[in-house]
Structure 1
Amino acid sequence: MSDADRHRIITDLLKERPFASVRDLQERLGVSAATIRRDIDKLDEIGKARKVYGGISASDGASSNRIAARSYDENRDIAVEAKRAIAEKAAGLVRDGDSIIVHAGSTCYQLGLALARRNVRIYTNSMPLAAYLGEHGTCHLTIAGGELYREPRIIHDPTAGPPHFFASRFFVGTQGIGSEGLLESHPLLTKAINELATCADEIVLLADSRKLSIQPRNLVMALSRISTIVIDDGLTDADAKMLEDAGVTILIAHAGTSGNGGAN
């Protein structure tokens, strides 16, 4: 298969989905990771796509009308190295004795794992995180009440309103980030996030840099409500300026140099 053939297949794939990891492309094209990285560099250089941590995304705006929420299981296996680095960096913001809220989502799940045996109080609406902490953690755990929504794996009572839990920080993930704020495809997540945001002094966003190229349809909250973002070192200068102009403090998590990103 020629370089041109691989480039065409990659760009066609990005018309259907906003992101493809190096592993995704290796499996689809049957070539080495080194070859895929050269292809990504070339497509980024000529403006056909955008190089991001762990893989490649559609050029800005190219797939905004086709964004759909990934399943939890699919998202969990994307950019894992970046998510773990983000979680470790975010865990450094938490002091022993703190009460925090950890929202659902794969990056927040990694934060929960990092805090599982710390002397902290954690409130979560994440079914996978609650199950892990219940079995393996020693932290004080409070679980959201209500119904289980298997996608996006959260526990929520749509009639209850905000929980009676007060936290110093609310750690939240997002499907996408734009100049207007945090974006989600699933309206239930929009409601749940805004309810939990009223229960904390500070909102900390955990997001890998792919999220800045994804534009779902539902606005969750303005960037000005976010105090801090913990993000990997794939953040561009332009996106960093957008965040700083909104008053967001940026903490960079360095995830190493392997760049395979797909072991969300």
Structure 2
Amino acid sequence: MIPAERQRTILTLLGNQEVISISELTHQLDVSHMTIRRDIAKLESDGRVMSVSGGVQLTETIHTELSHDVKINQHRNEKAEIGMYAAQLIKPNMTVYLDAGTTTLEIAHQLNHRDDLLVITNDFAIACYLMNHSECDIYHTGGKVDKSNQSCVGQKAAHLLREMNIDLAFVSTSSWNQRGISTPSEDKVLVKKAIITSAQQCYLVSDSSKYGKVATFHAVDIDSFDKVITDSDFPASCIDDLSERGIEVATV
């Protein structure tokens, strides 16, 4: 059986059960563990499956994002830990971008004592918090308002970002895999691409519950990120895969 046939068979099997172990696949397809791992790596790079401990499952497709008010109450401990770790990476006198999101809001919560930073954001909650609780200089991108996400998106927001020289960007997402980050909103793609272009370093900040999900619009390749900051439930096999591609992974 050629690789393409094996990979189609793996997808068919996954259509009938949620998770399949590596051992079960080697038995059913009568090939080695190494062969199955290569097949899974190809399917994962295509965004079709995701690795889990000892096995593989289909990628979850999302068509809409939860609102800011809903997301802020999910995985709060993980987001707080990510926020504390990420804030420690911000050096004196940096120009920093905080992408819209409840994880990046946790980074903002750690900047109360900073008066040496210029912070750029498209997120209204982040801008409001920093206005009231920090001495940072603040730029909001402006642009088309996404009411549910409490942020600005689209070409106007992207235009401001392309005009800025940013030292460090923290980028958020509701869906990502080994291929990269994706979004149900085409307007958000413009913002994500603009920040990747403008920042010297880009860090993806996301709790592990977002991994293995894919949305309609591919926004940014995973290789665009210098570092991924996530929580300790992120699969070890995925850390190895990202490390082989030169992307540092920090689990907190």
TM interval, short-chain normalised: 0.7 to 0.9
**Cα RMSD between the aligned structures?**
2.1
The 5 A counterparts of 1:171-186 are: 171-186=170-185
C-alpha contact 2:121 2:141 (8 A) present in aligned 1: yes
1:189 is matched with 188
C-alpha contact 1:181 1:223 (8 A) present in aligned 2: yes
1:158 is matched with 155
Q: How much does 1:157 deviate? A: 5.4
Q: How much does 1:124 deviate? A: 0.6
1:236 is matched with 235
1:206 is matched with 205
1:3 is matched with none
C-alpha contact 1:67 1:214 (8 A) present in aligned 2: no
CA separation of 1:228 and 1:90: change in aligned 2, threshold 3 A: same
- Distance in structure 2 (CA, Å) of the matches to 1:252 and 1:94: 17
- SS state at 1:169 partner: strand
- SS state at 1:100 partner: strand
C-alpha contact 1:83 1:208 (8 A) present in aligned 2: yes
- CA-to-aligned-CA distance 1:91-148 (integer Å, 9 cap, x gap): 1110121111111011011111112331211011101111111122211111112332
C-alpha contact 2:62 2:214 (8 A) present in aligned 1: no
- SS state at 2:64 partner: coil
Matched to 2:217, the amino acid is N
- SS state at 1:93 partner: coil
Q: How much does 1:181 deviate? A: 0.8
* 2:142 counterpart (141, 145, 160): 145
- Distance in structure 2 (CA, Å) of the matches to 1:238 and 1:180: 15
1:103 is matched with 99
- Distance in structure 2 (CA, Å) of the matches to 1:228 and 1:51: 21
Q: How much does 1:67 deviate? A: 4.5
- Distance in structure 1 (CA, Å) of the matches to 2:132 and 2:176: 33
Q: How much does 1:250 deviate? A: 0.9
Q: Which has the higher contact order (CA 8 A, sep 6+)?
A: 1
Matched to 1:210, the amino acid is S
Moved more, 189-198 or 84-93: 189-198
Correspondence 1:134 to 2:137:
no
1:83 is matched with 79
Q: How much does 1:68 deviate? A: 2.6
The 5 A counterparts of 1:44-59 are: none
TM-score (norm 1): 0.69
- SS state at 2:250 partner: strand
- CA-to-aligned-CA distance 1:141-161 (integer Å, 9 cap, x gap): 111123322122212452462
- Distance in structure 2 (CA, Å) of the matches to 1:76 and 1:128: 11
Matched positions, count: 197
- Distance in structure 1 (CA, Å) of the matches to 2:127 and 2:154: 16
Matched to 1:109, the amino acid is L
TM-score (norm 2): 0.72
C-alpha contact 2:52 2:235 (8 A) present in aligned 1: no
- SS state at 1:176 partner: coil
Q: How much does 1:162 deviate? A: 4.2
Q: How much does 1:198 deviate? A: 1.5
C-alpha contact 1:176 1:184 (8 A) present in aligned 2: yes
Matched to 1:95, the amino acid is K
Matched to 1:151, the amino acid is S
- Distance in structure 2 (CA, Å) of the matches to 1:200 and 1:65: 29
1:122 is matched with 119
- CA-to-aligned-CA distance 1:19-60 (integer Å, 9 cap, x gap): xxxxxxxxxxxxxxxxxxxxxxxxxxxxxxx999xxxxxx83
- Distance in structure 2 (CA, Å) of the matches to 1:67 and 1:148: 19
Matched to 1:179, the amino acid is Q
C-alpha contact 2:154 2:188 (8 A) present in aligned 1: no
- Distance in structure 2 (CA, Å) of the matches to 1:67 and 1:238: 27
Matched to 1:230, the amino acid is I
